[in-house]
Copies of this chain bind each other. A is one copy, B any other.
Amino acid sequence: MNSRRDFLQKIAGSALALPVLSSFAPRELMQADETPYQGPVLRVAILGLGSYGERVAEAMKDCKRAKLVGVISGTPSKVKTWQAKYGIPEKNCYNYENYDQIKNNPDIDAVYVITPNGLHKEQSIRVAKAGKHVICEKPMAVNAKEAQEMVDACKAAKVKLLIGYRMHFEPKTLEIIRQRKAGEFGKVLFFQGLSGFIIGDPTQWRLNKKLAGGGAMMDIGVYSINGSRYMIGEDPIWVTAQETKNNPQKFKEGVDETIQFQLGFPGGAVASCLSTYSMNNLDRFFLNGDKGFAEMAPSTGYGPIKGRTNKGELEYPHVTHQTVQMDEMSDIILQGKQPIVPVDGEEGLKDMKIVDGIFLAVQTGKKVDLKL
C-alpha cells in the first residue's frame, strides 16, 4: 500500500469542478461558455514516469494552455504505455542517455522533472543546458547549494525554472492570502503547519537518504515551510528545531522521522510546525492575527482543500490542482504572467535554505539565523 499517495489523494476527485468567478480564478474556469482557447500552449515533456508523473499527465488532459507532448524515462515499457495512453509521438520520447538531444526538438518547450529529489539538480541542469524551460517538482533539490546551482544554470541558459508548487494556485489558499493582504486578520502573529502521514513501504526511495535527501522534512515538511511563508507573507529570519526518532530501523541515519520546527518572522510573527512520517491526521494550517484567523484542514492534500476563517467556511469549489498549476505555468513561461505567490527557482531556493537551517538547528541544538 502506498500510504503517501493514499494520504494525498484520499479525498481528491470527490468534488465537482464548478466555475469560479473571481479575480484570481484560473482562466479556463471562466471560459466555460466562451469560444475555445486559441492562445499559446506550453508543450511539456515529463521526465520520470512514476505515480506522481502519471497524476500530472492525467490532470493535463484537462489543461487548455499546456499539453503533454513528450516523455523521458529509463524504462522502455513505461514509455510505450505512456505513448499509447497520451498519444505521444516517437520523436518526443527520450531516455536518460539521450535526452540532451531534446535541444534539437522544436516541439517541446519545457520539461517537468518528477524524479527522486536527489536527481533533480543534475537532471534540471541537463534540461536547462538543452535550452528547455525547467519545471521541477518540490523539493527542488536536497539542499540550498544544489538549488543555487540550478538557479544559476537556468539563468545562464536563459530558460525559466519553476518549482511544482501546486498550492500556489489553489483557490482557497489564494483567497486566504487575499484576505490576509487586505488586513482581514489584522496583524498576523502566528502560523501553524502540521504536515504528516504514516509512510508505508520501508524500501521506497523516500526513505533512502541518497535519493530523498532526508525523510519526512523533504517530502511533507516542506509544505509547512512553504505554507508558513505564503500564509504569513514574509520570509523567516530564524529557525529552531527538534528531532524525535522512535523507529531507527525504518528511519535510518539522515532520514528524519519527526521534526518540530519554529520560525521567527521580521514582523514579529512566529510559526510552529511539525513534519512527520509517523502520524496521520496531520494536514492542517492555522493562521492567526489580532483580528481574525484562517484554518485549513486538509491544507495541502490533493483536495478538496477545506478552509474557514473567523467569518465562516470558504465555499470555493475544488479544482484539480495539477491542471490549474500547468495552465498557470504556461502563462508564466509563455506570457510572462506574474503569479500571486512566486513559483520560480528563487522561491524554491528559499525553502531549501530553511531546510538546511532546520537540519543545522537539529544538529547543533541552537537557533539558526536565516538569510533568504
Report which A residues bind B (CB closer than 8 A).
189-190, 192, 194, 198, 240, 242, 244, 246, 258, 260, 262, 264, 268, 270, 272, 274, 276, 278-282, 288-290, 292-293, 310, 365-367
Contacts and interface: CB of A to CB of B under 8 A. Distances in A.
Contacts of A366: 365-366
Contact of A264 (B194, B244, B270, B288): B244
A272 B270 contact: no
26 contacts: A189-B258, A189-B276, A189-B279, A190-B276, A192-B194, A192-B274, A198-B290, A240-B240, A242-B262, A242-B264, A242-B367, A244-B264, A244-B268, A258-B270, A260-B270, A260-B272, A262-B262, A272-B272, A278-B290, A279-B288, A279-B289, A279-B290, A281-B292, A281-B293, A281-B310, A366-B366
A73 to B, nearest CB: 36
A274 B262 CA distance: 11
A198 to B, nearest CB: 7
A289 B279 CA distance: 7
Contacts of A274: 190, 192, 270, 272
Contacts of A270: 242, 244, 258, 260, 274
A119 B370 CA distance: 43
Contacts of A192: 192, 194, 274
A268 B293 CA distance: 31
Nearest to A366: B365
A147 B189 CA distance: 33
A190 B240 CA distance: 18
A38 B322 CA distance: 70
A-B interface, 9 closest residue pairs, ranked by CB to CB distance from nearest: A246-B268, A281-B293, A244-B270, A279-B288, A260-B262, A189-B279, A260-B272, A242-B262, A272-B272
- The A interface is mostly helix, strand or loop, or mixed, namely strand
Contacts of A189: 246, 258, 276, 278-279
Nearest to A289: B279
A281 B295 CA distance: 11
Contacts of A194: 192
Contacts of A310: 281
Contacts of A264: 242, 244
Nearest to A288: B279
Contacts of A288: 279, 281-282
A78 B272 CA distance: 44
A293 B198 CA distance: 14
A276 B189 CA distance: 10
A237 to B, nearest CB: 11
A260 B289 CA distance: 16
Contacts of A292: 281
Nearest to A284: B286
A268 B274 CA distance: 14
B365 A367 contact: yes
Contacts of A198: 290
A270 B190 CA distance: 20
A365 B274 CA distance: 20
A179 to B, nearest CB: 15
Nearest to A367: B365
A224 to B, nearest CB: 12
Nearest to A247: B268
A240 B242 CA distance: 8
